[in-house]
Structure 1
Amino acid sequence: MSTTVTAKGQVTIPKRVRDLLGIVPGSKVDFRRAADGSVVLMRTDQARAASRFAKLRGHAGEGLDTDAIMALTRGEA
């Protein structure tokens, strides 16, 4: 796929690339130079996926105090 640069330095991102990256009007994109010298187009406004640790975060439950949690842990409940 190729495109033409305008006098203002603008280009049209081909539809197949926009569809692949989910780029819609108002999307933010970034251009990064890779180690091999190529330039990579990335969408930057997407929410980052939660890490495997973030998915595990939570709490013991509503209304449980430390003594109640310890009793459950020890099997005293």
Structure 2
Amino acid sequence: MRVTEKGQVTIPRNVRRKLGIVPGSEVEFSLQDDVAILRRASPSDVGGEVAEFMDHIRRHKGTMDLGGMSADEFLKLLRD
């Protein structure tokens, strides 16, 4: 695996699946001697209230009751 100029690497799909890493996930690296360890950060590692809010957003992503308005009507309401 090659490291980019920005220090980025691609986490292999099987590792992402095993750790439950999805777009937007927080991860953490640690060192033990000369070994780097990657793990998915738990919500408490991210910061209580922020983590709870982000979990709420993820659970409701793509859902919204517009009270019968069309998307165009809603966008017009936002713009006015």
TM-score of the aligned structures, taking structure 2 as reference length: 0.49
Which structure has more helix as a fraction of its residues?
2
Identical counterparts, % of pairs: 52
User: What is the number of equivalent residue pairs in this alignment?
Assistant: 45
TM-score of the aligned structures, taking structure 1 as reference length: 0.51
Q: How does 1:1-77 map to 2 (within 5 A)?
A: 3-34=1-32, 36-46=33-43
Residue 8 (structure 1) shift: 1.1
CA distance in 2, matches of 1:13, 1:44: 15
Structure-1 residue corresponding to 2:58: none
SS of residue matched to 1:8: coil
Question: Structure 1 segments of 4 or more deviating over 3 A?
Answer: none
Bigger radius of gyration? 1
CA distance in 2, matches of 1:5, 1:18: 18
Residue 16 (structure 1) shift: 0.7
CA distance in 1, matches of 2:35, 2:10: 19
Q: Which runs of 5+ in 1 are unaligned?
A: 48-77
